[in-house]
Amino acid sequence: MATTTILVPLDGSRLGEAALPAALTLAAALPADLELVSVAEHDPMTAGWRLSSERVHEWFVGYLGDICDRIGEVSAVPISTKVLDGSVAERLEERAKLTGAGLIVMATHGRGPVSRAWLGSVADHVMRHVTFPVLLIRPDTDNGVSLDATPQFRRIVIALDGSERAEASLPWATRIGRAFHATYTLVRAVPPHFAPSPYLPHVIEETQGRLEEEATEAHAYVERVRTRLGSEERIVEGAVAVGVQPAAAIVRVAAEERADLIAIATHGRGGLGKLMLGSVADKVLRSATTPVLMIRSPTAP
């Protein structure tokens, strides 16, 4: 699984630049080249004035040039830039496919000086349509970032639901983890069962019995995966959350472990799956402050 290019979408904002430290650190560690991409939208507005696409394109060329100069002062990572024109989400998707990007690293929010606030909606589009792994960084400030910062990914939480599809996150999570000598925590949740009638003792007993059976199976499954990874990786631990909704369990464990990264598989365009895939990945992304690595799982035949 050779990584050749990490794609970083930038909208000209400080919030968008929040993705750069992680992208630079990963590019140096994996290793990989870095390509910075901006998109000049049609009919952009700034300060209430309509600008020509040519002016916006020219502005982004200068902006990316300045970013490259700043990066060159702190990093020797090979870097290139590309300014595209048109629909942001569509152009980014096309560029990722054209370059065969191994990974996309982007902030989840931003508002550029010559573009709409596009990173939020674009991150959503990319997550659902691009087949490449996407690392999403939530900015914690709009005061800018230090490009010589070196975020580490030494504690990685991997979300699982017992299915092979959810395990699509394992190769990329462990690839990144090896570069940082990471430890891993495998998380599987067993959601609560809601009895149709809480006043019937036998219904309560049956519901509790099913929950206990699923918890036993979940522990066995996590142990199997833990043992499998433990033969190759540094430290692998397991966590089973019983009676807890999956997204809440993942975010809680990540906070307790002070995780540097959450890895989770998602169906993307393929639709929603049970427990982990699809809707849960979306909830984790919106709830967690930890960077989230989204990996597209294979669709069902």
Across 25-39, 59-73, 103-117, least confident range: 103-117
Task: Average the pLDDT over 73-78 and give the result.
Answer: 94
Q: Residue 280 has what pLDDT?
A: 85
Instruction: Name which residue leads in pLDDT, 78 or 282.
Output: 78
Express each pLDDT in 176-204 by its tens digit. 999 999 999 999 999 886 555 555 565 55
Task: Average the pLDDT over 39-56 and give the result.
Answer: 66
Q: Residue 150 has what pLDDT?
A: 92
Give the pLDDT band of residue 252 (cuts 50, 70, 90).
very high
Q: Are the beta carbons of 180 and 154 closer than 8 angstroms?
A: yes
Over 90: is that where the pLDDT of 46 sits?
no
Residue 25 CA to residue 22 CA, distance in Å, equals 5
Q: Residue 286 has what pLDDT?
A: 83
Express each pLDDT in 215-225 by its tens digit. 899 999 999 99
Q: Residue 194 has what pLDDT?
A: 59
Q: What is the mean pLDDT of the chain?
A: 83
Residue 100 CA to residue 137 CA, distance in Å, equals 21
Which residues neighbour 37 within 8 Å (Cβ) at sequence distance 6 or greater?
Answer: 7, 8, 9, 10, 81, 82, 83, 84, 92, 95
Q: Residue 239 has what pLDDT?
A: 93
Kindly state the percentage of the chain with pLDDT values over 70.
80
Over 50: is that where the pLDDT of 117 sits?
no
Q: Residue 204 has what pLDDT?
A: 59
